[in-house]
Amino acid sequence: MQLSYSKSLRQQGRKLHEILNFNNTTETKLDDIRLVEWRNNDLKLLKNATIQYVNELEVDLDISPDDRSDYKEIMSDFRKYTGDNFLYWNVRAVNNKEKYHGWKDNLGNSWDLPSE
């Protein structure tokens, strides 16, 4: 799992660098990337697709049982870390009840955190 995670992280880093520097590589402003606010319906679609993808990885038979187990543990630790990382949430003024609203694992257990 560590090797594939590192490989994935390297790819993400390269792509993020490419995205952040895209405007610097074009001659015209017509194709520049701009920061926009997504519509709530689009955010809901993205959230639901992400939840489905994350949950499907936990049961994906193309992934070895050891890697699936590691993935479940990593996701559990990630949820706890982000839930406990108050600076991240406080800067964005996100209430506990909204952090993982609607997220459920494959067993139907809610990711929701207790209200503040």
pLDDT at position 6 over 70:
no
Average pLDDT over residues 37-62: 86
Q: Provide, rounded to the nearest whole percent, the portion of the chain with pLDDT above 70.
A: 68
Per-residue pLDDT reduced to its tens digit, 57-85? 888 898 889 988 898 888 888 877 776 76
User: CB of 46 within 8 A of CB of 96?
Assistant: no
Q: Could you tell me the residue range of the domain that residue 44 belongs to?
A: 38-116
What is the pLDDT averaged over residues 22-29? 73
What is the number of domains present in the chain?
Answer: 2
Q: pTM for the whole thing? A: 0.49
Please provide the average confidence, as pLDDT, over all residues in the chain. 76
Query: How many angstroms separate the CA atoms of 2 and 67, rounded?
Result: 9
Whether residue 44 sits in one domain with residue 7:
no
Query: Is the same domain home to 20 and 42?
Result: no
Residue 15, pLDDT > 60, answer yes
User: Distance (Å, rounded) from C-alpha 89 to C-alpha 96?
Assistant: 8
Mean pLDDT over 90-98 rounds to 63
Residues 55 and 23 reside in one and the same domain: no
Q: Between helices 40-57 and 65-84, what is the axis angle to 10°? A: 140
Are 76 and 29 in the same domain? no
Are 9 and 52 in the same domain? no
Report the distance separating Cα 105 and Cα 111, nearest Å.
7
What's the pLDDT score for residue 50? 86
- pLDDT for the residue 17: 82
Query: Same structural domain for residues 54 and 107?
Result: yes
Q: How far apart are CA 103 and CA 24, in angstroms?
A: 37
| pLDDT of amino acid 89 | 61
Residues 60 and 21 in one domain: no
| Shared domain check, 64 and 26 | no
Quick one: pLDDT at residue 107? 77
